[in-house]
Amino acid sequence: MRVKTQMEYFAGIDIGAAATKAIIIDDKQELLGHAVIDSGADFKAAAEEALAGARKSAALKTSDSVTIVSTGYGRRNVTRAYETKTEISCHARGSFHFFPHAHTLVDIGGQDSKIIKVDDAGKRTGFKMNRKCAAGTGAFLEEIAYRLRLKLDKLNELAGEATNDISIGSYCTVFTATEILARIREGARVADIVKGIFNSVIKRVIEMDPLDGPVVMTGGVVAHNPFLVTMFEKRIGRNIAVPPNPQLAGAFGAALYALESKGGINA
């Protein structure tokens, strides 16, 4: 049995292609602080900045040590990490922490979408990823917002104001932009177009893999566009669970692995 001489802290750093997320928890698995920043072109610097932000958010002292596990696209750039874990493992771990039963996890990030199957023990049993293009991801929504001259945080509000269903058939961002211009020329309202874009994202995800059993959704797109979850629920005819701070699910899973590595929780 280990004897603790001071308070112990555990960090998860999730470096995605678009955003870097860092969280700090204590040995009771309580979230103490977090930070989210743009990943930019220097993943190592992004990791340090996010960790510093999370430490400040958690009100840690300079002398407080933190055990770090890194995950995500740029996980190997975190030089101070105790170990690295794949984003699939960390997302499954973080999701199961909040929903400890078998479920299908849908994570929609900046550059890819993931569908992860988790069993009753919290183990990953399968996954699919969208890696071929930006369709169905945050990057896709960012480009469409740019084309429509809208702020990204305006999309969720507009989709909720839509009164008509418009089908956007193209997945490719370039072709979608052309299709949107055609819709505008036909007199379609911007709100209806945005809802059509959301439906396009949903269709793309659903076609990746069957959504068996209870469904959980995480990711930055979900965090900033809760109406997308409402539309998703209507599409599949089931309620969807969303954890607190859905953008932090992968980082939370990494932090739990950090705690586990020090004997704080059972594997």
Q: How many CA atoms lie within 13 A of 49 on its CB side?
A: 13
pLDDT at site 132: 59
Tokens of 170: 């193209």
18 falls in which pLDDT band (50, 70, 90)? confident
Q: How many CA atoms lie within 13 A of 85 on its CB side?
A: 27
171 falls in which pLDDT band (50, 70, 90)? low
pLDDT at site 262: 75
Backbone φ and ψ of 60, nearest 5°: -80, 150
Residues 6+ apart with CB under 8 A from 153: 224
Res. 1: pLDDT tops 50 = no
DSSP string for 15-78? E-SSEEEEEEEETT--EEEEEEEE-TT-HHHHHHHHHHHHHHHTT--TT--EEEEEESTTGGG-
- Angstrom distance (rounded) from CA 201 to CA 208: 11
pLDDT digits (tens, 9 = 90+) for 179-235: 777 877 788 888 998 898 898 889 888 988 999 999 999 999 999 999 999 999 999
Can you give the pTM of this predicted structure? Answer: 0.88
Residue for token pair 């009164």: 163
pLDDT at site 174: 63
Considering only residues 101 and 163, tell me which one the structure prediction assigns the higher pLDDT. 101
Helix (H, G, I), strand (E, B) or coil at 116: strand
Share of the chain above pLDDT 90, in %: 63
Q: Which domains does the chain have, with CATH numbers?
A: 9-91+248-261 (3.30.420.40), 102-242 (3.30.420.40)
The stretch 238-261 carries a mean pLDDT of 96
Considering only residues 160 and 4, tell me which one the structure prediction assigns the higher pLDDT. 160
- Angstrom distance (rounded) from CA 205 to CA 185: 28
- Angstrom distance (rounded) from CA 101 to CA 125: 13
Query: Cβ distance 86 to 12 under 8 Å?
Result: no
Q: What is the DSSP letter of 13?
A: E
pLDDT at site 99: 98
- Angstrom distance (rounded) from CA 193 to CA 205: 19
Query: Cβ distance 267 to 260 under 8 Å?
Result: yes
